[in-house]
Amino acid sequence: MRKIRTYNQISSRGLDRFSRDSYEVGSEIAQPEAILLRSHKLTVDQIPDSVNAIARAGAGVNNIPIDECTHNGVVVFNTPGANANAVKELVLAGLLLSSRGICEGMQYVQALTENDPAILNKEVEKGKKAYAGVELTGKTLGVVGLGAIGANVANMALELGMEVIGYDPAISVEAAWRLSSDVQRAENLGALLAKCDYVTLHVPAIEATKGMINSEALSSAKQGLKLLNFARGEIVDNDAMLAALEVGKVARYISDFPSLELLGNDKVSLLPHLGASTVEAEENCAIMGANQLVDFLENGNIKNSVNFPQIRMERTHGYRLTFANDNVPKVLSQVLALLADMNINVIDLLNKSRNDIAYTILDIEQQPDAQLLAAVAGVEHVFHVRAV
């Protein structure tokens, strides 16, 4: 039986991908071969040597110690785009919440205690002027990060009649194809902030983006900016944000990431990390994550990894082994020489690399035994070997 350890609430539609005959899946499993999780902050000591793969049912992988995983040959997957629509729809809510007195108006009505319908109506008509807002049509939205979510948000905003300016210095070709040509391009973050009434963040939490919305960036912003953060809390410097809210530089901060210093500020609206919390997104992410794990565990194929190359080799006959190594010359030739010395015929092979690592799928005529696996593992620069 293969063992999968789960963290967080994973949709049963995804868990169903692990057949009951071959997999044991649960939150109490010890020595798992793989981990499937959502936002759980995974520590190195929670990744035993038995683990070959980790799948994040979601986009952000800042809760996983990627470098340590790569070093140990652990393949980390995410599920690109699987929750993008859910986040896009909540961004729409964020745009409306920051423009109209929706929550304040509801709180006002909830607190009314009139018994007489005519007086209630009069009270409502008198009170509503305090909650008037502005429309989105004709306003300018800045989208920082134009990947799966950002591109969706940008296209949606155009349909709402907004002007849209995007900033993404590392946009992928696929993402660029998804984006409407009506989205204007900003050369840098400051230029985008200077022109926008609303800005929405859709970048990953990586070294380059942590604190990217700081006092310097906010000083470039248009007075009265409404900022939406459905990306990650650490992308915004909260002290700088509070200072900008104090002087009205930022009129409203909507964030999916509560933190102590933001609580209680009436210009800040905080949600409990709800961006991907829809039935559909949770199913999509769980199914995609589980499918990727199954294909990796059973065939060694890798799709949507954040640290290993994409690789897929059709299974025909024979036996399969995979190995990962430092991306330096002569490793593959040494492994092939070793197989030749052991008189083992190779049926097929595929080798791919990504940055500093290479990964090979080898189909051979003989079932790999412990001796063969140990011999491959002993080749200099090979750091992970598996019979699949």
Ligand X SMILES: O=C(O)CC[C@@H](O)C(=O)O
Q: Which residues bind to ligand NAD, rule: CB under 6 A?
A: 58-60, 80, 83-84, 87, 144-150, 167-172, 175, 202-205, 208-209, 230-232, 256, 273, 275-276
Q: Which does 38 bind (CB under 5 to 8 A by kind): ligand X, ligand NAD, none?
A: ligand X
Shortest distance, position 78 Cβ to ligand X, whole Å:
8
Q: Judged by CB under 6 A, does residue 276 bind ligand X?
A: yes
# chain residues binding ligand X, by CB under 6 A: 10
Q: Does 202 bind ligand X (CB under 6 A)?
A: no
Ordered DSSP codes for 137-164: TT-EEEEE--SHHHHHHHHHHHHTT-EE
CB atoms within 10 A of CB 4: 24
C-alpha–C-alpha distance, residues 201 and 255, integer Å: 10
Residue partners of 26: CB distance under 8 A and separation at least 6: 4, 5, 6
The active-site residue, picked from 71, 273, 315, 354, is 273
> Considering only CA atoms, which of 248, 205, 243 is closest in space to residue 226?
248
Q: Which does 170 bind (CB under 5 to 8 A by kind): ligand X, ligand NAD, none?
A: ligand NAD
For tokens 């990306």, the residue is 231
Please say if 232 is a catalytic residue. Answer: yes
39 binds, among ligand X, ligand NAD, none (CB under 5 to 8 A by kind): ligand X
280 is a catalytic site residue: no
**C-alpha dist (Å) from residue 321 to 68, 108, 279, 315:** 23, 66, 38, 12
Q: How far is the CB of 58 from ligand X (least distance, A)?
A: 3
Contact 235, 250 (CB under 8 A): no
- State the minimum distance, in angstroms, from the CB of residue 346 to ligand NAD: 36
| Residue 154 binds which of ligand X, ligand NAD, none (CB < 5-8 A, kind-dependent) | none
Running DSSP on this structure, what letter comes out for residue 116? Answer: -
* Residue pair 69/76 in contact by the 8 Å Cβ criterion: yes
Site map 50..69 versus ligand X, x via CB under 6 A: --------xxx---------
Tally of CA atoms within 13 A in the half-sphere of 139 that contains its CB: 21
Name the residue nearer to ligand X (CB basis): 278 or 327. Answer: 278
Dist CA 296 CA 92 (whole Å) = 36
CB of 174 to ligand NAD, least distance (A): 9
Using the rule CB under 6 A, is 201 a contact of ligand X? no
* 142 contact choice in ligand NAD, ligand X, none (CB below 5 to 8 Å, kind-dependent): none
Residue nearest to ligand X (CB): 58
Place of tokens 């990796």: 296
Which SS3 state, helix, strand or coil, does residue 46 take?
Answer: helix
d(CA 42, CA 69): 11
* Measured distance CA(1)–CA(200) in Å, rounded: 45
Nearer to ligand NAD, 35 or 235 (CB): 235
Beta strands at 346-354 and 382-387: parallel, antiparallel or unpaired: unpaired
Judged by beta carbon, residue 3 or residue 202, the one nearer ligand NAD is 202
To the query of whether residue 20 is one of the catalytic residues in this protein, the response is: no
Q: Which is nearer to ligand X, 13 or 273 (CB)?
A: 273
- Applying CB under 6 A, among 24, 29, 39, 155 the residue interacting with ligand X is 39
Contact 216, 236 (CB under 8 A): no
Query: Closest approach of Cβ 38 to ligand NAD, in Å?
Result: 9
The option from ligand X, ligand NAD, none interacting with 204 (CB < 5 to 8 A, set by class) reads: ligand NAD
Nearer to ligand X, 273 or 354 (CB): 273
- 300, HSE (Cβ side, Cα atoms, 13 Å): 24
Q: Tokens 């868990």, residue?
A: 15
Residue nearest to ligand NAD (CB): 147
Minimal distance, residue 258 CB to ligand X, in Å: 14
Please say which residue, 7 or 308, places its beta carbon nearer to ligand X: 7
**10 contributes a contact to ligand X by CB under 6 A:** no
Tokens of 45: 């000591």
User: What are the structure tokens assigned to 313, written together?
Assistant: 């080799």
Active site positions, annotated:
232, 261, 273
Contact positions vs ligand X (CB under 6 A): 38-39, 58-60, 83, 273, 275-277
